[in-house]
Amino acid sequence: MANERELLKGNTPTLILTVLADGPQHGYAIASEIQKRSGDVLKFKHGTLYPALHALELEGLISGAWEHGASDRPRKVYRISDAGTAELAERLKSWREFSMAIDNVIGGKLDGQLA
């Protein structure tokens, strides 16, 4: 599980941007969507998600605004910016190159065929 946490930490911004590319969401919905899309493998704690959202806001990659929903409790809803969309495209390109390189190195070892 520690390995997954380290991988998640470095890829959290990309995951958030990917979800927000599909439309605005509040923090809990972002975390839930990532968990759902990952088949319950990737789970965020508040201490991971909200600092990442704040950093993405400071970088101008997302914007957040407080909105009142059906409940009287306001929620901060995040939207990806044009800069965030461009950054996501770069991150996805880098991810594809990186994951392909890793796959080329480990190849069939993923099937439990260790020598």
Residue 111 counted as domain residue? no
User: CA dist 41 to 8, 16, 34, 44, 73, Å?
Assistant: 10, 15, 9, 10, 30
Q: Is a pLDDT exceeding 60 seen at residue 114?
A: no
Residue 94 counted as domain residue? yes
Residue 98 counted as domain residue? yes
Amino acid occupying residue 87: E
What are the helix (H) ranges across 21-77? 27-37, 46-58
d(CA 57, CA 96): 25
Residue 113 counted as domain residue? no
Tell me the torsion sign for CA atoms 11, 12, 17, 18: positive
Q: Is a pLDDT exceeding 80 seen at residue 113?
A: no
Residue 90 counted as domain residue? yes
Q: What is the CATH number of the domain that holds 81?
A: 1.10.10.10
- pLDDT: is 107 or 11 the higher one? 11
If phi > 0 it is left, if psi is from -120 to 50 it is alpha, else beta; for residue 93 that is alpha
Residue 114 counted as domain residue? no
- pLDDT: is 20 or 109 the higher one? 20
Residue 56 counted as domain residue? yes
Give the chain's domain count: 1
Residues of the domain holding 71: 2-104
Global pTM reads 0.84
Residue 10 counted as domain residue? yes
d(CA 63, CA 108): 42
